[in-house]
C-alpha cells in the first residue's frame, strides 16, 4: 500500500534498462552501432557535415537553392561553408504558427594548428597547436592523435587532409615527462602541469640527407608534404587542421551498455536528431534541424549559432513559401518551440562531491532536461518557462519516453551554457535537453546506449507533435 503510494507521489527515476525488452534492446543496439560507425567517419565539423549531407541526399532532401517555391512535405537543407547545416521539412500548418526546432552543435574540443605551425627543435619536427574549447590540457598528451582538415591554396584549390584514422596511417602524439623527472611538474596545479605552448605535435625525426643546411628534419617534413599535397609552408596560413584523438568509437563495458568515443559532445545529439529527421515523412509544424559550429568557443562567427545565416535560411523558406512580409521572420521565431539538444554532465560516483544527486542526470535514465543553464546565480543562462516545460513533459510522457531533469553540478560549483539563449532571445520557447555524458570534453567521452536511443525517440516525438 505505502509502496504504491510512494510510486504515485514520488518523482523517482530508475534505470531505463529495467524496462527494456528484447525487441527494444535490439533497436537500442542497432542505433548505437550506426552511431559509432558515423562517429568514426565524422570526427570534425566538416566531416560531420559531409556525412550529414550524404544522408540527407539519400533520404530525399535537396538544397533549398534548387527550389523555386516550397510546399508542405518538401525536404530541404542549407549547408553553410561546409561547417554548419540546417535541414527542414515544411509542415502542413501555416509556418506562422511556429516551427519545431532542434539544435545541436557538431564542433568538439580539439587542438587546432597555429597559423605557422611547423618548427624544428633539437632533431625533432613539431606542429604547434592552439587548443579549441574547454580542455584539460594534460589529457591530450601521450594519446594517439589524427589530423583532419583542409588546406586551401592561394589559387583556391582545396586539399583535404585526413591522416591517422586508417590502420595503415601513422598517428601523432604529444610527449609528456617521465615520472622519474617530473618531480617539479607534479608539484604544480593540475591546470598548469602541461602548458598550452607545450601541446606540440611530434611529427618527425629524420633529417634530410646530403644537405649542408639547418632545420633538416623540418625540411624533410616539408618535402613529404610537398610530394603528398603539393603545398609549401606558406599554405598552412590558409588551412584549418584539427588534431583529434585517433581512438575509434567503441562499445564500453562487459555488458556493452555504454559507448566510449571522442566528440560525443555534441555529436550524440546531432546524430540522433539527424537520424530522427530522416525518418519523418510529414509534420504538422515545420520541422527544423540545426547542426551548428563554434558552440565550444561561444557560438560566434558566421558558422556559429549567433550568425545571421540561420535567419537567412528561414527567410528563404518564407520567400519560397511566397508569404514573406515585414516582421514575419520575427513572428515565426516568437511562435516557435525549440529543443536545444546538447549533452549534460552525468553524475559520476567517483566525483560525487560536485553534484547534487537529486538534481543530477544519470547515465541510463534517459534524456535529460535542463530547465535552465548559467553559472552561480544562473548568470548568462537561458531559463525555460514552466508552461513550456509542461508542454515538453507532456510530449515525453504521452510517448512513454523516460526522461530525467537535472542541472549541471552543485549551485556554487557548476554551470555552463549552450545555444539555448540564442533562439530564446529571438522569442522562441527553448529548453535544454540532451544525453548525459561522463568525462565530458575529454578525448574519450562516455554515454549510455539507452540514453542515445532515448534522445532519438525524444527528437522524433517532438517533431511529430
Q: Would you say 208 or 442 has its CB closer to Mn ion?
A: 442
- Residue 31 has φ and ψ, to the nearest 5°, of -60, -40
CB of 433 to Mn ion, least distance (A): 12
x/- contact string, 9-48, with Mn ion (CB under 5 A)?
A: ----------------------------------------
**Taking the complex as a whole, how short is the minimal distance between the CB of residue 341 and Mn ion, in angstroms?**
9
Residue 354, SS3 per DSSP: helix
Judge contact between 258 and 53, C-beta under 8 A: no
Query: How many angstroms separate the CA atoms of 290 and 149, rounded?
Result: 22
- Please, which residue, 35 or 61, has the CB nearer to Mn ion? 35
Return the residue of 107, 235, 266, 407 that touches Mn ion, per CB under 5 A: 266
Q: Which is nearer to Mn ion, 47 or 266 (CB)?
A: 266
127-186: contacts with Mn ion (CB under 5 A): none
Beta bridge partners of 344: 436
Q: How far is the CB of 456 from Mn ion (least distance, A)?
A: 17
Q: Which three cell numbers stand for residue 208?
A: 634530410
Could you tell me the smallest distance in angstroms from the CB atom of residue 266 to Mn ion? 4
How many C-beta neighbours within 10 Å does residue 365 have? 24
DSSP per residue over 205-217, as a string? -PPPSS---S-HH
Distance CA 20, CA 420 (A): 31
Q: Residue 445 CB, nearest distance to Mn ion (Å)?
A: 10
Q: CB of residue 441 vs Mn ion: minimum separation in angstroms?
A: 6
Q: Which is nearer to Mn ion, 165 or 266 (CB)?
A: 266
With contacts defined by CB under 5 A, name the span among 190-198, 266-274, 381-389, 398-406 that binds Mn ion: 266-274
- Among residues 314 and 408, whose Cβ is nearest to Mn ion? 408
- Considering only 77-85, 239-247, 335-343, 447-455, which stretch makes contact with Mn ion by CB under 5 A? 335-343
Please identify, among the stretches 196-204, 225-233, 297-305, 334-342, the one whose residues bind Mn ion according to the rule CB under 5 A: 334-342
Nearest approach, Cβ of residue 368 and Mn ion (Å): 13
- Closest among 206, 228, 230 to 219, alpha carbons compared: 206
Distance in Å, CB of 416 to Mn ion, minimum:
8
Which of the stretches 49-57, 78-86, 173-181, 339-347 binds Mn ion when contact is defined by CB under 5 A? 339-347
In the block, which residue shows the cell 511529430? 464
Residue listed under C-alpha cell 520567400: 319
Phi and psi based region of residue 59 (left: phi greater than 0; alpha: psi -120 to 50; beta: remaining): alpha
CB of 168 to Mn ion, least distance (A): 32
83 φ/ψ angles, rounded to the nearest 5 degrees: -125, -15
Residue 317 or 384: which CB sits closer to Mn ion?
384
Choices 332-340, 341-349, 377-385, 406-414; region in contact with Mn ion by CB under 5 A: 341-349
Number of Cβ atoms within 10 Å of the Cβ of 6? 10
* H or E, element range at 224: helix 216-229
Which of these segments, 20-28, 164-172, 336-344, 457-465, binds Mn ion (CB under 5 A)? Answer: 336-344
Contacting range for Mn ion; rule: CB under 5 A; set: 142-150, 200-208, 307-315, 337-345: 337-345
Total binding residues for Mn ion by CB under 5 A? Answer: 3
Are residues 442 and 396 in contact, defined by beta-carbon separation less than 8 angstroms?
Answer: no
Distances (CA, A) of 433 to 166, 286, 335, 345, 372: 34, 20, 19, 12, 10
Question: Smallest gap, in angstroms, from Cβ of residue 96 to Mn ion?
Answer: 31
Q: What nine digits make up the cell of 458?
A: 525524444
Smaller CB separation from Mn ion, 316 or 407:
407
C-alpha cell at 44: 570534425
Query: At closest approach, how far in Å is the CB of 132 from Mn ion?
Result: 11
Q: Cα–Cα distances in Å, from 191 out to 141, 296, 331, 384?
A: 13, 19, 46, 34
Mode of pairing for the β-strands spanning 100-105 and 337-340: parallel
323 vs 442, beta carbon nearer Mn ion: 442
Nearer to Mn ion, 74 or 266 (CB): 266
Residue 118 near residue 233, CB atoms below 8 Å: yes
211: left (phi over 0), alpha (psi -120 to 50) or beta: beta
Q: Is 348 in the site for Mn ion (CB under 5 A)?
A: no
If binding is defined by CB under 5 A, does position 342 make contact with Mn ion?
Answer: yes
404-418 CB burial, b ≥16 within 10 A, e <16: bbbbbbeeeebbbbb
d(Cα 40, Cα 264) in Å, to the nearest integer?
11
Nearer to Mn ion, 285 or 448 (CB): 448
Q: Among all chains, which residue has been given the C-alpha cell 560516483? A: 349
Binding to Mn ion by CB under 5 A, coded x per residue (else -) over 246-265, reads -------------------x
CB of 265 to Mn ion, least distance (A): 4
Instruction: Give the residues lining the site for Mn ion (CB under 5 A).
Output: 265-266, 342
Amino acid at each position: 500500500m505505502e509502496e504504491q503510494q510512494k510510486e504515485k507521489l514520488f518523482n523517482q527515476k530508475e534505470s531505463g534498462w529495467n524496462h527494456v525488452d528484447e525487441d527494444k534492446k535490439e533497436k537500442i543496439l542497432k542505433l548505437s552501432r550506426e552511431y559509432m560507425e558515423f562517429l568514426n567517419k565524422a570526427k570534425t565539423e566538416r566531416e560531420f557535415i559531409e556525412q550529414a549531407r550524404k544522408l540527407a541526399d539519400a533520404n530525399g532532401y535537396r538544397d533549398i537553392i534548387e527550389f523555386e517555391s516550397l510546399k508542405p512535405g518538401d525536404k530541404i537543407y542549407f549547408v553553410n561553408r561546409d561547417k554548419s547545416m540546417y535541414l527542414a521539412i515544411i509542415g502542413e500548418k501555416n509556418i506562422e504558427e511556429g516551427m519545431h526546432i532542434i539544435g545541436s552543435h557538431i564542433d568538439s574540443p580539439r587542438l587546432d594548428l597555429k597559423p605557422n605551425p611547423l618548427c624544428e627543435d633539437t632533431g625533432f619536427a613539431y606542429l604547434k597547436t592552439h587548443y579549441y574549447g574547454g580542455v584539460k590540457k594534460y589529457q591530450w598528451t601521450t594519446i594517439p592523435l589524427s589530423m583532419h582538415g583542409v588546406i586551401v591554396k592561394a589559387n583556391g584549390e582545396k586539399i583535404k587532409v585526413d591522416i591517422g584514422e586508417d590502420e595503415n596511417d601513422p598517428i601523432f602524439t604529444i610527449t609528456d615527462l617521465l615520472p622519474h623527472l617530473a618531480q617539479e611538474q607534479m608539484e604544480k596545479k593540475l591546470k598548469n602541469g602541461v602548458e598550452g605552448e607545450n601541446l606540440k605535435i611530434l611529427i618527425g625525426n629524420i633529417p634530410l640527407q646530403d644537405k649542408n643546411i639547418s632545420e633538416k628534419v623540418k625540411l624533410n617534413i616539408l618535402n613529404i608534404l610537398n610530394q603528398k599535397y603539393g603545398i609549401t609552408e606558406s599554405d598552412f596560413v590558409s588551412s584549418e587542421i584539427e588534431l583529434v584523438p585517433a581512438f575509434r568509437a567503441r562499445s564500453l563495458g562487459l555488458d556493452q551498455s555504454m559507448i566510449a568515443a571522442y566528440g560525443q559532445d555534441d555529436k550524440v545529439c546531432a546524430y540522433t536528431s539527424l537520424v530522427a529527421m530522416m525518418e519523418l515523412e510529414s509534420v504538422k509544424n515545420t520541422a527544423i534541424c540545426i547542426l551548428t559550429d563554434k558552440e565550444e568557443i561561444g557560438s560566434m562567427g558566421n558558422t556559429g549559432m549567433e550568425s545571421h545565416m540561420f535567419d537567412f535560411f528561414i527567410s528563404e523558406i518564407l520567400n519560397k513559401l511566397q508569404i514573406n512580409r515585414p516582421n514575419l521572420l520575427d513572428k515565426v521565431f516568437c511562435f516557435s518551440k525549440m529543443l536545444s539538444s546538447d549533452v549534460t554532465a552525468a553524475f559520476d560516483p567517483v566525483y560525487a562531491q560536485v553534484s547534487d544527486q537529486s538534481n543530477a542526470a544519470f547515465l541510463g535514465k534517459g534524456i535529460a532536461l535542463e530547465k535552465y543553464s548559467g553559472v552561480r546565480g544562473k548568470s548568462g543562462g537561458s531559463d525555460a518557462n514552466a508552461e513550456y516545460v509542461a508542454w515538453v513533459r507532456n510530449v515525453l510522457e504521452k510517448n512513454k519516453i523516460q526522461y530525467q531533469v537535472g542541472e549541471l553540478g552543485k549551485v556554487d560549483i557548476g554551470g555552463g551554457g549552450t545555444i539555448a539563449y540564442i533562439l530564446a532571445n529571438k522569442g522562441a520557447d527553448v529548453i535544454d535537453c540532451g544525453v548525459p555524458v561522463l568525462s565530458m570534453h575529454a578525448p574519450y567521452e562516455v554515454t549510455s546506449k539507452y540514453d542515445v536511443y532515448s534522445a532519438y525517440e525524444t527528437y522524433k516525438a517532438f517533431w511529430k507533435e
